[in-house]
Amino acid sequence: MLDCRGPRLPRVLHWGRPLPHASDADLTALALASLPATVPNSLDTPASVAVVPEPATGWFGLPGVLGHRDGRHWSPLFETEHVGVHDRGAGEGGEVAVLASDAGCGLSLELRLDLTAVGVLRMRAVLRNTASGWYTLDGLVMALPVPAEATELLDFTGRWSRERDPQRRAFSAGAHVRDGRRGRTGSDASFVLVAGEKGFGFRSGQVWGVHVGWSGNHRTYAERLPTGDSVVGGGELLQSGEVRLAPGASYETPWVYAAHGDGLDEMAARFHRLVRSGRGDRRPVIVNTWEAVYFDHDLGRLTALVDAAAEVGAERFVLDDGWFRGRRDDRAGLGDWFVDEARWPEGLHPLVERVRARGMDFGLWVEPEMVNPDSDLARAHPDWIMATECRQPPSSRHQQVLDLRRREAYEYILERLDALVREYRIAFLKWDHNRDLVDAGVHEQTRAVYRLMDELRARHPGLEIESCSSGGARVDLGILERTDRVWASDCIDGIERQAIQRWTALLLPPELIGSHVGSARAHTTGRTQSLALRAGTALFGHFGIEWDLTAASGEERAELRRWVQLYKRMRGWLHRGLVVRADHPDPALWLHGIVSADREQALFSVVAMATGARTQPGRVRIPGLDPHRRYHVRPLAPGDSPGTTAVTPNPWLAEGVVVTGRMLAEVGLSAPPLHPEQLLLLHVTKA
């Protein structure tokens, strides 16, 4: 509910549970009832926060616009000139466009608030310099109020191989500001910032969440003033002097997304429906070569891996790092995007032909935004390395950033990628980005990367791109406007991935989250885990394999083939279904699943993340089904025989049990006492 009355910028009166039967009179009354007692033209009146907060109104929180004109015009006060409303019809959402200006400061502001049909609000602002002199913009963020009932905050931190690690705290007075300054989204990004009622969980408590859809520096924040006013918001984080507006020039913010839910699952479902809109359903089984061979590229070895991949049912074969000139490790070659003639005298054609002959399409790893100082490109064009006027930034992973703001560097990379995709008819690019940006022009670099991806996709409409960035360090809705999935983490240890995928799915539907089956001993943690845990975890994502299958036993390959067949059989409805997670009192036992859109079937996973607090875990509730239907719940092979401490199995596990959806949600079923790091699959079908 947006209040656009009067000369000031619009303010949000309500975003939360729907008000389906509210009349115009009801809304007008609510708007009037929401205003505090006023003293005309006085700071004794509490300021109502606008979508772009303005200190000039008496708002003492973080300002929406930070900037100046040679030390002047640093506090604009915008006056609304026009409000345009586009109502798409019942259930389809609508859009409000607002034009406002401050003639004294020489600025105009365009606001766009789009309430999508799935219930996600997205907001964007355009600031234009209407005066004759230059204007320096240091920041522009947008904000939404949250009610006093929101007393807790959830956001995320993390590191390489442990991305999206949740952290909760009280929503107390002051500003909780999360700035991402890595030049990319970052492993430690706040990701989604959620304000919620005390004790909120996946299935309970109102929550209000925001996400900044931008792949460069960004700010997300929550703030509570002593007056009781509270907001959540965010936008791009600009570096000093990064955006200076010439007369007539403008700056456009990234989209800021916001969604409400009764529980985290409902909020996530809104984001999922938004992200899924317009995307295809094709999610082929991938085999990626990285953990199988690393840099050891040998045609014979890779050909054997192709044959093993086809044997287990793979549909896409992706050649990872190591195929281009001078690339024997991570110290050299980045930027020289030509096939290494020493390793591949006939180019990649023999391998690609074998891949296609075995019924798979071909994908390739690239890292177009980076350059090794030890490369032909860096030696020929040292000025293409992004640097300040006086020094190069410190190297990371033996690499620097290629300055795509430079037209020549941009055109070189576009030509190389275009040529590779054409020559080898590449279906899929694993697009990596392995270092933070330091001393860098992040704003224009991010925009250049977006243009590069957009142009490449325009030239090759069927090309799919994965966003990979030191694992999961670039996961946001800005990059996902132009990519088809994300690599959630370089860690594919089953237990670690359970947590990473659980929280990545707060924003992204599972089929956009690349999830691979690794070798029995995880390369990043050293833990040894069952194939059921590894494959059962990958089943709830975009399924892939990252394992030297030529070294796997025949028994292991046969079992893996069964998991691949299960994925293929179910992905049609899994990738359109509703993600459901249960709130179980024992943090060692996790239950999550996907319910089909027609609610006629579901697939759930019960996972022992560690040893439980009690000998018997008790009942697990299975939510999300039709409460009035009867369902048959039974274990599903090949995830039907986890290790347990039970002398005899739970009686219902042998043949399953038939109960109503309401009984499953309210009462639940007795869970087996699983050994740690064990997974049980449950298939729920209409009885």
Q: At residue 119, does pLDDT exceed 90?
A: yes
Residues 520, 524, 527, 530, CA torsion sign: negative
Within 13 Å of residue 73, how many CA atoms lie on the same side as its CB? 21
Instruction: Write down the catalytic residue from 102, 265, 340, 432.
Output: 432
Cα 458 to Cα 97, 278, 363, distances in angstroms: 29, 16, 18
Q: What is the mean pLDDT of residues 647-651?
A: 82
Contact of 283 with 511, CB cutoff 8 Å: yes
Indicate the pTM of the whole model.
0.97
501 phi, psi to nearest 5 deg: -70, -35
Residues 569, 571, 572, 573, CA torsion sign: positive
Looking at residue 76, what is its pLDDT? 97
Looking at residue 43, what is its pLDDT? 57
| pLDDT tens-digit map of 420-445 | 999 999 999 999 999 999 999 999 99
Q: At residue 40, does pLDDT exceed 60?
A: no
Looking at residue 390, what is its pLDDT? 82
Between residues 281 and 373, the one the model is more confident about: 373
Token pair, residue 515, equals 């999830």
Q: What is the mean pLDDT of residues 305-317?
A: 98
Q: At residue 168, does pLDDT exceed 90?
A: yes
198, burial (CB in 10 Å: exposed 0-12, middle 13-18, buried 19+): exposed
Q: At residue 313, does pLDDT exceed 90?
A: yes
Chain CA centroid to CA 45, Å: 40
- Cβ-proximal residues to 518 (8 Å cutoff; 6+ apart), any chain: 291, 492, 493, 534, 546, 547
Strand partners of residue 660: 630
Instruction: Write down the catalytic residue from 265, 320, 361, 490.
Output: 490
Other C-beta atoms lying within 10 Å of the C-beta of residue 623: 23
389, burial (CB in 10 Å: exposed 0-12, middle 13-18, buried 19+): exposed
Average pLDDT, the chain: 95
Q: At residue 39, does pLDDT exceed 80?
A: no
Looking at residue 259, what is its pLDDT? 98
Q: At residue 11, does pLDDT exceed 80?
A: yes
* Least confident window among 25-39, 75-89, 448-462, 579-593: 25-39
Q: For this structure, is 320 an active site residue?
A: no
568 phi, psi to nearest 5 deg: -65, -35
| pLDDT tens-digit map of 91-117 | 788 999 999 999 999 999 999 999 999
Cα 600 to Cα 577, 667, 681, distances in angstroms: 11, 20, 17
Between residues 39 and 407, the one the model is more confident about: 407
Q: For this structure, is 640 an active site residue?
A: no
127 phi, psi to nearest 5 deg: -105, 130
Q: What is the mean pLDDT of residues 333-346?
A: 97
